[in-house]
Amino acid sequence: MGIIFLGPPGSGKGTQAETLAKEFNLNLIVMGDILRKEIKELTPLGTQIKSYVETGALVPDELVIKLIQKNLAGNSFILDGFPRTVKQAEMLDTVTQIDKVVYFNCPAELILERLSNRRTCPKCNKVYNLVTNPPKNNETCDDCKTELFQRKDDKTEVIQNRIEVYKKETFPLIDFYNKKTVLDEINAADKIENIHSKIKCLINKITKKP
């Protein structure tokens, strides 16, 4: 089963993908995490892509396509953050089957509010929101007690660029997948639990569970 979570940055794809992948035993592939790992480990690829990621630009298609081919093991997966361009989607079609695309429709004001309040744990990658899902103690991870940080691309000046890039490069994918009749839209401003049950229903429909 191949599922794509599509939507602007900050629309809650990552939060939902994490729980649902566990629940349905699906391989979770998060392109942003794969790229950030390369940067953190100072690999040659990491050095090459650092400035794209930190300024909110897209990493060139040929680089992310190579990475996805390396990471796309098996046929049961949730993809978060890939594809982000029509070229990436066309390539994906040649290597695997996509059964469902969940489109997280999210207004721009909410994206801005969510991303600017997002804090991440550098050790375990757990994501918090200072307003809606704050850590228990100051800006420290509840699980591993490490000090949280704000991603460079979650700073206000970069967020606007990410939204523009999304509109220009990724938004056309909604039409691309709509034409293939695999797209379902959810309201990303809804409560986490409601979104979770809606997507669960969509996945159960594919697996034909009641």
Handedness of CA 20, 23, 28, 32 (dihedral sign): positive
* Least spacing, CB of residue 65 vs ligand AMP, in Å: 9
Which residue in 56, 38, 60, 55 sits closest to 47, CA to CA? 38
Active-site residue 151, yes or no? yes
- Encoding tokens for residue 47? 């050095």
Active-site residue 36, yes or no? no
* Least spacing, CB of residue 170 vs ligand AMP, in Å: 8
Which residues within the stretch 54-73 sit at the binding site for ligand AMP (CB under 6 A)?
A: 56-59, 64
Tell the burial category of 46 from Cβ atoms under 10 Å away from its Cβ (0-12, 13-18, 19+).
Answer: middle
Binding mask 151-180 for ligand AMP (x = CB under 6 A): --x--------x------------------
Using the rule CB under 6 A, is 53 a contact of ligand AMP?
yes
Using the rule CB under 6 A, is 81 a contact of ligand AMP?
yes
Which residue in 100, 72, 75 sits closest to 25, CA to CA? 75
The contact set with ligand AMP (CB under 6 A) reads 9, 31-32, 35, 52-53, 56-59, 64, 81-84, 88, 153, 162
